Amino acid sequence: MRISNTVIVQKRIPIRKWLPILAMCMIYILLFLGSFGYWLLSKSLPSLNGEISIQGLQAPVKVWRDKQGVPHIEANNLHDLFMVQGYVTAQDRLFQMDLSRRQASGTLSEVIGSKTINQDRFFRTFGLHRAAIASYSKYPKEYQDYLKQYAKGVNAYIQDAIAKSKLPIEFTILGYQPKPWTPIDSLTIGKYMAYDLGGHWEGQAFRYYLLQRFPKEKALDLFPSYPEHGPDIIEKLQTLQLDLSKSFASAVVPHPFNGSNNWVISGEKSVSGKPMLANDPHLSLASPAIWYETHLTSPQVNVSGVIFAGVPGIIVGHTKHIAWGVTNVGPDVQDLYIEKRNPKNQNQFLYQGKWENAQIIHERIKVKDGKDIILPIQITRHGPIISEFAHSQKPDTALSLKWTALEPSTELQAILLFAQAKNWNEFKQALTYFHAPAQNFVFASTDGTIAYRANGKIPIRKKGDGLLPVPGWTDEYEWKGYIPWDQLPTWVNPEQGFIATANNRVMDHSYPFHLTHTWAEPYRQSRIIEVLQSKEKLTVEDIKKLQVDNKNLQAKEFNPLFVNLLNKQLSTLRPIEQQALAQLKSWNLQDDKELAAPLIYHMLMNKIEEFLFKKQIDPQMDKLFDGKFGIVSQLIQNAASGKEGPWIKEKGGLEKVVLESFKQAIDQITAKQGTNPSEWKWGEFHQITFAHPLSSVKPLDLLFTPPSSPLNGSHITVGAAGWKKTGEVNHGAAWRTVVDLAHPLQSWNVVSPGQSGQVLSPWYHNQIDDWVTGKQHLTSMEPKQYQADSDLLLFTPE
């Protein structure tokens, strides 16, 4: 038998014939992934119409969402009003709310992991959550009930979202579900805002570090003023040794430009004949916005404005009778005490010659994919020991923190009373419940009254003035009470017809009580006054324009000085440096995004700071340099007036400091924007991003964070826009509002980037362009106005 071999020949298909097939496969895959991704994102979008039943409601509640996504909540009683406010806010901002309470209470590591352990240690040590628990017990039962109803509303949404798999996509990405909301969560967020608006503990620590590291004259050169009882305190501090760079390397420090603008003008200065009020609080800029705009109405209240997501009520806003706004007073309400520890018992501290037992609290920090951490916290008579939160060493001395916000306080009661006030006396009475943070309140009413008040608990010290840590082993430096309520700075209907604050010094040196040493530089407030005085009568459009004003009054003072000093060295400047100098000479002092001069000026100021401090001040301590920008201005001003301090003198004098810093600034700009100064632009460097909390994880930034936009202004202009050294703008007025009391049921507003935290919502980033260009939308409290072309969502009792 013959067996034949069969040869099978495989015919090759040319690759060009496969390409269309592969391309189609890729298209189908991308379409599938895109559709799946869209489905994941869209399924969490909230219901904006129809009917939702909630257990515990007493009567139906209507929610109308206007064209900007602002909810107008109509309820028959306060019980239902706050319950639905909780539900509706959670619809738009649940992930932000959960992240906010976790940050404030020190529970981020439970869902993020080991990266946030030190941050959790820090806030557990500070004890914002403990302070919130203590505060809750101080509220009357009716206000506790309002907090409970708000929490019930949030939890009704959480339960519904979990049941229907509609939680925001961030929860899926991080792999967890939110826990039930509690009244303490709302109060903890409030305590965090008190922390974010500061009280200068970091400045005390920094100045202590200066005294330990540098000669006395050089250290004092960076003080905002000479400390009261200075020699006595300084001598005691220099005998003690604490490694603060180790203690506070991972401390969470509030943004240095946290503050605000507000002003109010009388009817005599307004075209409408009634008072007008403007406010733009300056805080971190991110996605979503820190503020949430809401209109609340019931038989008891009718109020519109903004609140922090996670808190009931309206903290800044207006009713049909009044309007109010806030800026940060920034008083010295925090003191660091140096505590002497018993070498034989680490939990005892010396006071008046005796060893006192500290209260010991053990906080459990849960860590995702890691072991739980037990954090022992020592609380002395002054407050928690904060100098050891990130390390376990127990030296013989430690720093404890005394702070007004760690005491029980009742700000929510004040907030809810604001909405019911009809005149200045009633509003002022509501302020008795507002303790921390201390705020500059401006007020206007339809009866023609305008007023101002610096309100909050501000301590009176037996000795010392808040500049330095003080001995905790003696009673010499204890607080002996607070500035009497009836002696807090207050003005009503001043002759000039307006009141303006921008975190500036609010009282002259004749005021009998100490407020703070660290005021904002006066340039923003001076510019506001300059504009308000420029016209006999002002319109709403004038006020809106002023809120984004870009004139740099600091440059008005410093730019001629810099130009003069650089002119003296003109022959040493390279051609590109001479061209850059020409830009400064012709500058109109506007921090305009299209101009080169503001870029050159701000980079020069930045390089002066680096030239003076970079190689001498520990980077870990630099972040505690409270009021640094004002101190740099002070050093320049002193040197220009012939009082050159050691920091500038050691660098060869002001002329050399400016020359060398200018050259470094031009080199840095050239590397980024080329060799033609006439083509340089402030806005190419200075850009707003509105980063999302998850944007640091690539490529999630492409999903959650919008494209950057060039931006006018700076941290020194009324149109505030603070930036990182990379140029990314991360601080400013996420909320701007203008109210004309001639039309008290409406206001002009912008919340950037938008109302919603849901990435596919039409209100996620829709207000960025308006915010950048200074436009505002009209929010009306008139039902005929906000109900027109709006969605209606009806809430009914279950």
Give, to the nearest 10 degrees, the angle between helix 183-196 and helix 141-163: 100
Task: State the amino acid at position 435 in one-letter form.
Answer: H
Q: Which two tokens stand for residue 643?
A: 């009082």
**Residue tagged active-site, from 44, 260, 287, 747:** 260
Give the number of other CB atoms < 10 A from CB of residue 508. 6
How many whole angstroms separate alpha carbon 179 and alpha carbon 721? Answer: 36
- Burial of residue 706 (CB within 10 Å: 0-12, 13-18, 19+) is middle
- d(CA 199, CA 596) in angstroms, rounded, equals 37
Amino acid found at 582: A
Spatial neighbors of 313 by CB under 8 A, at least 6 apart, are: 82, 146, 296, 307, 412, 415, 416, 418, 419
Residue 335 in marked binding region? yes
- 553 phi and psi angles, rounded to 5 deg: -75, -20
Rg (CA), the chain: 29
Compute the distance between CA of residue 228 and CA of residue 715 in angstroms, rounded to an integer: 30
**CB atoms closer than 10 angstroms to residue 722:** 21
DSSP letter at 720 equals B
Q: What span, in angstroms and rounded, lies between the C-alpha atoms of 124 and 104?
A: 8
CA atoms within 13 A on the CB side of 583: 26
- Residue pair 571/539 in contact (Cβ under 8 Å)? The answer is no
Question: Any known ligand binding at 332?
Answer: yes
3-state helix, strand, coil in the chain (%, to 5): 40, 20, 40
DSSP-assigned letter for residue 677: G
Residue 678: active-site member = no
Helices 117-126, 78-105: crossing angle, 10 deg rounding: 120
Q: Where are the beta strands (DSSP E) in 195-271?
A: 259-265
Helices (H) and strands (E) in the chain, counts: 27, 30
Buried/exposed code over 730-750 (b: 16+ C-beta within 10 A; e: otherwise)? bbbbbbbbbbbbbebbbbbbb
With a CB cutoff of 8 Å and minimum separation 6, the contacts of 262 are 277, 278, 279, 280, 325, 326, 327, 440, 442, 500, 501, 502
Q: Answer whether 759's CB lies under 8 Å from 766's CB.
A: no
C-beta separation of 611 from 651 below 8 A: yes
Q: Dihedral of CA 118/124/462/509: which sign?
A: positive
Long-range CB contacts (< 8 A, 24+ apart) of 219-226? Answer: 221/635, 221/645, 221/646, 221/647, 222/625, 222/631, 222/647, 223/467, 224/467, 224/517, 224/518, 224/627, 224/630, 224/631, 224/634, 225/467, 225/517
Angle at 632 between CA 209 and CA 233, to 5 degrees: 35
Distance CA(263)–CA(271), nearest Å, equals: 16
Helix H, strand E, coil C: the string for 683-707 is: HHHCEECCCCCCCCCCCHHHHHCCC
What number of residues does the chain have?
Answer: 798
Closest CA to 445 of 207, 280, 264, 262: 264
What whole-number distance in Å separates Cα of residue 626 and Cα of residue 479? 22
Angle at 422 between CA 494 and CA 457, to 5 degrees: 65
Q: Which residues are annotated as a binding site?
A: 332, 335
Catalytic residues: 260
Q: Which residues are annotated as a binding site for Ca(2+)?
A: 332, 335
